[in-house]
Amino acid sequence: MSDNKVIIVGAGPAGYVAAIRAAQLGAEVSLIEEAQVGGTCLNRGCIPTKSLLASTEALSLIRRAKRLGIEVDGIKPDFTCMMERKNEVVSRVVKGVEYLLKANKVKLVKGKASFLDLHKVEVKTPEGKEKIEGDFTIMATGSKPVLLPFIDFNHPAVLTSERALELTQIPQSLLIVGAGVIGCEFASIFGPLGTQITMVEMMDRILPQEDKRISLMMKQILQKRGINIFTDTRLEEIADYQKDGLTARLDNGEKISAEKMLICVGRSPYTEGLSLENLDLRLDQKGNITVNERMQTSEQRVYAIGDVVGGYLLAHVAFEEGIVAVENALGVDSKIDYTSIPNCIFTSPQIATVGLTLDKARERGIEVKIGRFRFSASGKAQALDETDGFVQLVVEEESGEVLGGQIIGPHAADLVHEIALAIRWELTVDEIGSTVHAHPTLSEAVMEAAKKAQGKPIHMT
C-alpha cells in the first residue's frame, strides 16, 4: 500500500480509472475535472453515439420486419425521444462513475487546472482558487475535434461530432467531411433517419486505416443505402453560408448544398491553458505528450495517459494506460501490450480489427496466408437476416500463428475478442480451428476462418 498523494488532471476514461486504481493502492487521490466526469467518451462520444445507434438499428430492423414474418405499420422515428433517451443513458453512466469515485474515496475537484510547478496545481473552481500538492501527477486531459481554419464554426449549419449530438431536429441533408471512424458512424446514425448524406474523404478510400477489403465493402454498403461518397477529394471552401444551410465547393469542382455540415477530420490533444511551460514536458510534432512504455513523461514524477499522448484514441486503451501509469508511479512494475488492442467501429454492420492486416504484415516482410469466412455461409447470420460481411484471419505462413484479424458483420465488436486473445497468447489457427464452437452462433465464423487458413474448410469452399 502507498501513502503518496496523486493528482490526476482529467476525469475521462483514462483519468477516472487511474484515480480508482490509485485509491485501491492506498494513495490519496485528487481528481480534477473542468466539465463532466466521464470526459468525451461518456458525454460526447462512445456512450451517446451508441445510444443513438441502438435506436436507428432498431428502426432499420423494424423496417425489414416483413422479411422476418412481421407486419408493422406506421413506422416513424421520434428524434426528440431518441435524444432524451440518449441523455438519460449518459446521465446514468456518469452517475455510476461518480458513485465509484466516491466509494473509492477519490476527491473530485471541479474546476480548471494549471500547473504552478512539478508538485503544485492551482484549480479555478466556482468558489475560487484551490491549490493542490502531490507526489505524482497524471495528465489525462484528452483530445478535442480538429477545426479547419477556413470554416466558420459559429455558423449553425456547421457541426463538430459534439454539436451533432445536440441537434433537436433531423437534418434533411448532411455533408460529412471525413469518412473515417466518426464520419461513418454518424452516417450510420442519420442514414436510417432519412437524412440525405454526402461524404467527402481526402484519402483514396473511406476508413483509410482499415483493411482495404473492409473499406471497399463498407463503401458499397453505404452507397447501396443511397449515401453519396467522394474519395480522393478535398473540401476547398464554403462558397455560401445561408440561413438554413450552406454550399460547399470541392476540389473536383462539385458544389454540395446541405442543411448541415459535419466536420470530423481528426482530433488533437487538449493541453491549452494548463501552464505546461512550468513543466519540462516533451511534446511531439502533433502536440501529444511523449511518454515511455511506463506512461512516464520527460518529468520523472509526471505521467500522461489517454488521448493526450496520441497513439490509440480509444477508451479501452485509456483505461489500461491509466492503470499502468498509476501502478508504475506507486511502485508496481506495469506495462501495456499494444499488439492485441481491438479497434471497433460501430457502423451498421459493425467493423472490428485487431493486430496486423495483410498489407502491414507484408510490409514487415512476414510471409502470411489468409483465412476468410463470409457471413453469408453462416447459419446464424442467415437466421438473423444479417449476412453482409466476413471474418478474416492473417496467419503466419510457417507456424500458423494468428497475427491479425478483421471482421465486418453482425456483432463484430463482440466477436473480435477471441482473435485478440489468440494474438495476445500467440495461438495458432490449429488451436482455434480445433476448439469446438457452439452451433448455431456467429462466433463459428471465427472457427471457420481458422479452418480455411488450415486448408480444412467445412462450410465454405
> Which are the catalytic amino acids?
439
- Buried b / exposed e across 260-281, counting CB within 10 Å, b at 16+? bbbbbbebbbbbeebebeebeb
Distance, in Å, from the CA atom of 84 to the CA atom of 81, rounded to the nearest integer, reads 5
How do strand 28-33 and strand 5-9 relate by DSSP bridges? Answer: parallel
Task: Compute how many other C-beta atoms are within 10 angstroms of the C-beta atom of residue 220.
Answer: 12
Distance, in Å, from the CA atom of 86 to the CA atom of 81, rounded to the nearest integer, reads 8
Distance, in Å, from the CA atom of 113 to the CA atom of 344, rounded to the nearest integer, reads 32
- At residue 407's C-alpha, the angle toward residues 212 and 186, to 5°, is 80
Query: What is the greatest pairwise CA distance in the chain?
Result: 70
**Beta-bridge partners for 196:** 173
Is 227 in contact with 195 (CB distance < 8 Å)? no
Which amino acid belongs to residue 110?
A: K
DSSP 387-447: ---EEEEEEETTT-BEEEEEEEETTHHHHHHHHHHHHHTT-BHHHHHTS---SS-TTHHHH
Closest CA to 378 of 392, 367, 370, 388: 388
Q: How far is CA 189 from the centre of its chain?
A: 15
List CB contacts of 138: < 8 A, sequence separation 6 or more: 6, 7, 8, 9, 15, 18, 302, 303, 304, 305, 322, 325, 326, 329
> What single-letter DSSP state applies at residue 170?
-
